[in-house]
Amino acid sequence: MSSTETRHGAEPTGRLARVTAPLRGDPRFARCFAADQINAAGTTMATGALAFTVLGAGGGASGIAMVLLANMTAGIVVSPLGGVVADRLPRAVIISVVQVIIGLITVIETALILTGRAAVWNLAALAGANSAAASFSEPARTGLIRCIVAAEQLNEANALNQLARHLVLTIGPAIGGTIVAVAGAGYGVGCNAVSFFVSAALMARIHAPRADRRPSTMRADLVEGWTTIRTRRWIWTCLIGTAVMVPAWHIGYGILGPPYAKAHLGGAWAWGFIASSLGCGMALGAAVSLIWRPRRAGWTNCLGAAAAALPDPLMAAGAPLPVVMGAVVVAACGLSMSVVAWRTAIQQHVPADQQGRVSAFNDIAGISLTPIGYLMVLPVTGVIGVRGTLLMCGITLAAANLAPLLSRDVRQLTLL
C-alpha cells in the first residue's frame, strides 16, 4: 500500500470517483462548496421569519409583495454593474466582501425585529440593499467555479452544488420555522446573519486570481458583455425563453398554486405536500446530473425546463393530488437538470474574463418580466378564470422552453 493510501485511505474509483472529483481535487472548491451551503441554510431558515415579521408589522400579503418587489427591482438595476465588477476583480474577494455586507444588513434586520421597530418600509429598503449587494456576488460565483474546477469536472461541480442546495432548501425551512416558533422571528433572521459571516470567512481563504484582461472603461465592459451574448445565438435564444418562462412559472405554480390547492385539493396541507414534491424533484434532478453527464446541453436545457409545463394543465384539468405531486416532481427534476446543463455550458463556452457579465445578463433575463407577470395575474384571472390562467401558463412554459430548439446553435450545443 502506498504512503498516500496509508494516510488517507484508498481513493474511490469508477463512478464514485468521477462524481466526487471536484470535492477531492482542488481544496478551494471544497471551501466554496461549504460556504455556499452554510449560506443557503441560513437564508432558507430566515425566509419564513421575514415573511412572518412583515405580517406581524401589519403589512399583510401586499407588504410581502412590496418587500419582494424591492428585492427584485434592485437586482434588475444593479446586476449589469455587478457583472462588470465580477470580471474586473478577484471573484472570491468580491463574494467574501459581499457576504460581510449582507451579514451586516441582516444584523440591522435582526435588531429592528427584536426591538419591535420593523416595518414594511424599512424591511423593503433592506431587502433592496441586500439584493443590490448580492448582484455583485452572484455573477462572481459562476466565474469562480470555472477558475477552481477543471473543465471536464464542471458538470459534476455544478450538480454537487445543486444537490446540496436543494437538500438544504428541503430541511432549512422546517428548522427555521421551529426557531421562529420557539424563540421568535428575530432569532431566525439572526441565524442567517451568522451564516453570512461564516461563509465570508471560508470564501476569504480561497485564492483565485482575476482573469487576465485588457484595461477598459465600464461602458466598454458592458458593451463587450452584451456583444458576447448577441453574437452567440444559443445564449440569447435561450435567454428570451427564460424571460418568458420565469413569470409563467411564478404565476401558475407560485401565485395560483396555493389557493388552488386550498380550494380543490384538500386544503393548505395539500400545498405542503406539493411544495415538498418540488424540493424532492429538484434534488433528484441534481442527483441525475451528478451521475449522468449529458452530452447535448442544448437539448437537456430546453427539454428539462419544458417539463415545468406539466403541473399547471393538470391542475386546470382537476387532476387529483397524487397526480399533481408527481407532475411537480417531474417538473422540478427537469428544471434542476436544465440549470446544471446551462451553467456548465456557460462556464465551458464563454471566455473566462466575460463569465461575470454573461451571468449577470442571465440573471436579469430570469427576473426582467416577472414584475409585469405579477401585475397581470388579477386582470387575466378575472377574464379567463383560475383554470384558464393555469392552462395558459402551461402552454406558455412549453412554448418558451421548446422554441429555442428551432435554432441549430442550441441543438448543437454540447458539453466537454
In tens digits, the chain (416 residues) has pLDDT values of: 343 443 444 555 566 777 888 888 788 999 999 998 888 877 776 665 666 677 666 665 567 667 878 888 888 889 999 999 999 889 999 999 999 999 999 999 889 888 888 888 888 899 899 999 999 998 999 889 988 998 889 999 999 999 988 888 777 666 666 676 677 667 777 888 899 999 999 999 998 877 666 778 888 999 999 999 999 999 999 999 999 999 999 889 888 888 888 788 887 678 778 888 888 899 999 999 998 888 899 999 999 999 999 999 999 999 999 999 999 999 999 999 999 999 999 999 999 889 999 999 998 988 888 888 878 888 898 999 989 999 999 999 999 999 999 999 999 999 98
Say if residue 167 is in the same domain as residue 295: no
Helices 321-349 + 120-148 axis angle, to 10: 50
Coil, helix or strand at residue 89: coil
Say if residue 48 is in the same domain as residue 119: yes
Say if residue 248 is in the same domain as residue 148: no
CA–CA separation, 293 vs 157, rounded Å?
11
Say if residue 278 is in the same domain as residue 339: yes
The CATH number given to whatever domain includes residue 69 is 1.20.1250.20
| Domain span including residue 365 | 224-416
Q: Which amino acid is at 249?
A: W
> In this predicted structure, what is the pLDDT of residue 367?
84
Q: What is the DSSP string of 363-389?
A: HHHHHTTHHHHHHHHHHHHHHHHHHHH
CA–CA separation, 238 vs 230, rounded Å?
12
* Residues forming beta bridges with residue 414, ordered by sequence position: 296
Dihedral angle at the C-alpha atoms of 306, 135, 36, 99, nearest 10 degrees?
Answer: -160
> In this predicted structure, what is the pLDDT of residue 297?
95
Give the chain's end-to-end CA distance (angstroms, integer).
34
Flag whether 293 is in a domain: yes
Say if residue 31 is in the same domain as residue 54: yes
CA–CA separation, 328 vs 324, rounded Å?
6
CA–CA separation, 24 vs 11, rounded Å?
9
Contacts by 10-17, CB closer than 8 A, 24 or more apart? 15/291
Say if residue 37 is in the same domain as residue 136: yes
Say if residue 159 is in the same domain as residue 243: no
Q: By the 8 A CB rule, do 123 and 109 touch?
A: yes
> In this predicted structure, what is the pLDDT of residue 326?
96
> In this predicted structure, what is the pLDDT of residue 6?
37
> In this predicted structure, what is the pLDDT of residue 408?
97
CA–CA separation, 226 vs 133, rounded Å?
22
For the chain, the domain total comes to 2
> In this predicted structure, what is the pLDDT of residue 51?
61
| Residue 139 grid coordinates | 455573477
> In this predicted structure, what is the pLDDT of residue 68?
74
* Residues forming beta bridges with residue 102, ordered by sequence position: none
Backbone dihedral angles phi then psi of residue 318, each to the nearest 5 degrees: 80, 30
CA–CA separation, 175 vs 171, rounded Å?
7
Give how far the C-alpha of residue 246 lies from the chain's centroid of Cα atoms, to the nearest Å: 12
